[in-house]
Amino acid sequence: MAERVSLALNTTTTTMASSLRTQVSASRLLRFSSSGSKLSFPSSSLSFTRSLVSSPLLSQKRCQAALVNRSFSSAATTHCTAATDPEQLKSAREDIKELLNTKFCHPILVRLGWHDAGTYNKNISEWPQRGGANGSLRYEIELKHAANAGLVNALNLIKHIKDMYSGISYADLFQLASATAIEEAGGPKIPMKYGRVDTSGPHECPEEGRLPDAGPPSPANHLREVFYRMGLDDKDIVALSGAHTLGRSRPERSGWGKPETKYTKEGPGAPGGQSWTPEWLKFDNSYFTEIKEKRDEDLLVLPTDAAIFEDPSFKVYAEKYAADQDAFFKDYAESHAKLSNLGAKFNPPEGTCDF
């Protein structure tokens, strides 16, 4: 697979690259420290479950998460963060690209942005009670939600980037990481905007139960219930489902999938899990072609995946995307951008255009 980049780097090249990154990081820190902006973190501890859906809490992982939190958050946040610094966004994007190239973490960064935004309820007008892309996912009470289990790893991965760029809100950083991961995996350019304001504390987190489940009794109805609540439609549901072309499901976390397959036993990254597609770090339309054919037992098909070819309305879009990758990319980019803005409060109100 083209994406399985060798990790055996020349020692001299690695040393030179590390030195260069250190110099660049120091330069950025000096440049941005002159603005006088200060970095603030949430006051609550991060505590996580290991289950994506319904696995029991693992005390060992809660202890690990608590240790992570002591390094990730150290001071109380007393105000909402205002506008994000565009120059810092540009530099942070380059650091995210480097992270993706070395850690192969595209899927979990996509999930981080989606789960922060996916709590939006169009029937609630008040911010931040309506949920959405507001950075609240960094707080313990929301991270304990079963659907958010494992996202401690995503927060660990971007911690050093948040440390460097205090002029970027958590809400913007989560969405920047998600969109960049799609693009760097070969997906379409996402028409993003920035300037999302952060929530001020855990009391502003949404209640549990707003995110989709993988195996509900009526998969198509469940998907509509969740995504219609966000103001999205059938096209959005099917297009966004196509992001499962990236990533794996691990049974020890979610209760779904195999411990390993011929596609995942050697990584890249930590080996194991079951993927939806053979090249699970490549963004293309293979999710639709593989789900349609259902020929390979080493590839995962969740009940909600099967629903997109079983429900008559969903199937129209699924068939279209299986046959036409360009059509999928176009619709996916629109739906991803729409999702990333749900519930957000921007400063300035119109947001800052992508760069």
Residues annotated as catalytic are 115
Contacts of 113 (CB under 8 A, 6+ apart): 133, 174, 175, 177, 178, 179, 340
| Buried/exposed 156-168: b ≥16 CB within 10 Å, e otherwise | bbbeebbebbbbb
Tokens of 294: 């259902």
User: Would you list the DSSP string of 248-277?
Assistant: EE-HHHHS-S-S--TTTTT-SSS--SEESS
Characterize the bridge pairing of strands 352-353 and 274-275: unpaired
Q: Roughly what angle, to the nearest 10 degrees, separates helices 325-341 and 312-323?
A: 120
Characterize the bridge pairing of strands 193-194 and 352-353: antiparallel
Q: What is the torsional sign of CA 125, 127, 346, 93?
A: negative
Which of 197, 196, 208, 114 is closest to 154 using CA atoms?
114
